[in-house]
Chains A and B, each alone.
Chain A
Amino acid sequence: MDLERFCATSRVVIVAGKGGVGKTTVTAALAVTAARAGLSVLIVEVEGKSGLAECFGQPPLSYDEAELSPGVRARTLTPDEALVEYLEDHGLRRIGRRLANSGALEIVATAVPGMKDILVLGKVKQLEKGGAADLVLIDAPAAGHAVSFLLSARGLLDAVRVGPVRKQATDVVELLSDPARCQVVLVTVPEETPVTELVETAFAIEDGAGVALGPVVVNGCVPPIDGLGADPMLPDDDSDADVATLVAAARVRLDLAARQREQQARLAELLPLPQITLPFLFTAGLARAELETLADAFAAGVAALEPVGS
């Protein structure tokens, strides 16, 4: 499938996955991929303190947009921030520090479950409608919360009958239900429990929130080495490693790769969505070079996708 078309499928893409699967890394890689395809990207960090800016070698994010890379901007938009901004826009002239710290806002948010989530999504809708970028990427809360995050709008429509918050919720439901405007990209690693939980999350999101699901990103796939086997090879000369060690190490990689393939097959069977695989990186910690490698893999994965039928 064409890279530019893929990235332009939905204006808002929500990246979700359980803790530890590399959701933030995948968000960064997807942003770089989209920027390469010529799109302007805005990443919205919902949880704060995610290490996203660090991937790009930039200082931590703030409520104001910052450029992480040519074509890629980012900002935070935490539920607390969204709540304060919303209340200030709706008649609470200025929420003093004292009030904000008094916990009164917490009470308001708790009184209407999902309110903060809806305000975050409402703000995202504002960004999308206002053309803030060709692609708005949301680095969503970890899996369990992602589901409630997306379900919150419908839940609220049941609980709140009137008022501006209800209007917000309605608009958010509209945004989420339209695949041209929004889709969710789930991230996992090829291991048993994460795959099980991803499948559950996928069904919960599709059934409960009515949001379209994009391809699943399977992160951390061990790349194959051409010709690797676990047979002992007679080493050539005074080698740097003995036969037993070489064989043991080969065994580790081959077994791991086999287990991962098994989980990817299982995922495909349980959830009929295309998969994009990203490689496990053996070399140093995540930095710009690694991000480019992941973006390359992402682009290759997209190219391998079947084009959407007419």
Chain B
Amino acid sequence: MSDEPKPGRTRPSIASVVAGHRVVVCCGTGGVGKTTSAAALAIQGARGGRRTVVVTIDPAKRLAQALGLDDLSNTAHEIERARWDPDSSAVPGGALFALMLDAKSTFDTLVRQYAHDDAQAQRILDNAFYRNIAGSLSGTQEYMATEKLYELHATERFDLIVVDTPPTRHALDFLDAPKRLTRLLDNRIFRLLMTPARAGFRVGSMAAQTFLRAVARVVGTEVIDDVLAFFRAFEGMEEGFRTRANEMMQLLASTETAFVLVTSPRRDAVEEAAFFAARLAEGDFAVKGLVVNRVHPRYPCALPDVLRAHAEALLAGDQERRGTRALAAQYTNLADLEELAMREERALHGLEERIGPAAIAHVPELAHDVHDFTALRAVAAHLT
């Protein structure tokens, strides 16, 4: 349906979007099958003859097993060809790798990279406040996903990097949340505390001192000491981090990168996808593709109301005739399913209008969860 070219406008295929970019970022709200889509797109990339890696964030246990991922998978490991190309029908030269993001390890690596020496790195890694940032600040996972992407891109080992994004409610968290970490690391209040009071800074410093004293009364001084120790240890690294963060964001903004929105026909998922598309448009990025999972098929015979009326007429009529009740039930059922599919189409229409000449693929509601390669290949077949 929506894969057909609209009058006067031809949509590219999802396959061509994947083939035409070096980085594909799968965005969307949680619970829509993003990880599955990311894995399927990666399979497609590998089958197209490219060295591909998929960065997963929080895969369901069985899918993680299928991809060979466990707790030690913060580095890319290869998936044997027989699993994604069992009949050797894929274009030669491709390879498929997968990794499961470990945000803390990724952050630790960054710290070691930008510290002046091992001692500074260790002071930070041992610091309680640092461990809290790495473990529980919201936005760290999004930041580290982008950092991991940047790292992989820099190695030049891969022709294609497919990135899954964390399963938060708001799709935009992927773009917005990293700023929390950046802002925290850049924080001026605490910097003012450590700068010896100079003319012009004195007032700022006083406010900061007052603030800290008040906070210490609430959470205890030990906690505040850890925070100050962190910023002291981190001193000198802000520049490096800031430059790195800019380079990360530039990679996301480059023409090598395609954002693929993943959604389901659910109203809230479509809404989140629309917010995301609108934000990308503001920043002159573009959604290059839209994948809609769990779509129900249309049965365009008669309108649901007509079908229901038919069912009612049957039930009101000749009850003696065998099979009347069963037939009426089938009509009612058909009305339900067609009504659902029509509702989904309406919900998606607005979104599809909004994303310009992007590629669109619909993946039907499947009978089973996707957690092996047979199912993943079946999904990939819809993403052409």
**Nearest Cβ distance between residue B376 and chain A, in whole angstroms?**
14
> A21 in the interface, Cβ–Cβ < 8 Å?
yes
Q: Shortest beta-carbon distance, B165 to chain A, in Å?
A: 13
CB of A29 to closest CB in B, whole Å: 16
A160 on the interface (CB 8 Å rule)? yes
| B330 interface neighbour in A106, A148, A246, Cβ under 8 Å | A246
Give the tally of cross-chain contacts (CB within 8 A). Answer: 193
Chain B residues with CB under 8 A of A102 = 187-189
Q: Which of A159, A233, A283 makes the CB contact (< 8 A) with B326?
A: A233
In the assembled complex, the CB of B368 is this many whole angstroms from the nearest CB of chain A, namely 8
Measured as residues with beta carbon below 8 angstroms from the partner, the interface class of chain B is 35 or more
Contacting pair B215 A236 (CB below 8 A): no
B329: Cβ under 8 A from any A Cβ: yes
User: Are A160's CB and B220's CB within 8 A?
Assistant: yes
Q: Does A308 contact B (CB under 8 A)?
A: no
Whole-angstrom distance between the alpha carbons of A157 and B184 in the complex?
25
- Tell me if B119 is interfacial: C-beta within 8 Å of chain A: no
**In the complex the two chains form, is B330's CB within 8 Å of A20's CB?**
no
**Given A233-B326, A233-B327, A99:B211 Cβ within 8 A:** yes
Asked whether any CB of chain B lies closer than 8 Å to the CB of A128, the reply is: no
Residue pair B132, A191 in contact (C-beta under 8 Å)? no
Contacts of A142 in B (CB 8 A): 30, 167-169
Q: Which of A19, A166, A239, A245 contacts B31 (CB 8 A)?
A: A19
In the complex, B65 has a CB within 8 A of chain A:
no
Q: Which residues of B contact A239 (CB under 8 A)?
A: 310
**Interface residue? B325 (CB, 8 A):** yes
Q: Tell me the interface secondary structure of chain B in the complex.
A: helix
Is B69 close to A, CB under 8 A? no
In the complex, what distance in Å separates the CA atom of A104 from the CA atom of B231? 13
B151 shortest CB reach to chain A, Å: 24
Within 8 A of B (CB), among A250-308: 250, 252-253, 255, 259, 282-286
The answer, yes or no, to whether B339 is at the interface (CB within 8 Å) is yes
* Distance A285 CA – B307 CA, assembled complex (angstroms): 20
Q: Say yes or no for B323: interface residue by CB 8 A criterion.
A: yes
> Within the assembled complex, what's the spacing in Å between the Cα atoms of A125 and B224?
27
Tell whether B328 is near chain A: CB-to-CB under 8 Å: yes
Does chain A have a CB within 8 A of B250?
no
Whether B183 pairs with A90 at a CB distance below 8 angstroms is no
Q: How far is the CA of A26 from the CA of B222 in the complex (A)?
A: 42
**CB of A64 within 8 A of chain B?**
no
Interface residue ranges of A234-256 to B (CB < 8 Å): 234-236, 239-242, 245-247, 249-250, 252-253, 255
Assembly CA distance A51 to B272 (angstroms):
11
- Top 3 A-B pairs ranked by shortest CB distance? A20-B31, A19-B30, A240-B302
B-binding residues in A (CB < 8 A): 18-21, 47, 49-51, 86-87, 90-92, 99, 102-104, 106-108, 110-115, 142, 144, 148, 159-166, 191-193, 196-197, 225-229, 231, 233-236, 239-242, 245-247, 249-250, 252-253, 255, 259, 282-286
Interface residues of B (CB under 8 A from A): 29-32, 58, 60-62, 129, 132-133, 135-137, 167-170, 180, 183-184, 186-190, 207-208, 211, 214-215, 217-220, 222-224, 226-227, 264, 266-269, 271, 299, 301-302, 306-307, 310, 314, 323, 325-334, 336-337, 339-340, 343, 347, 367-369, 371
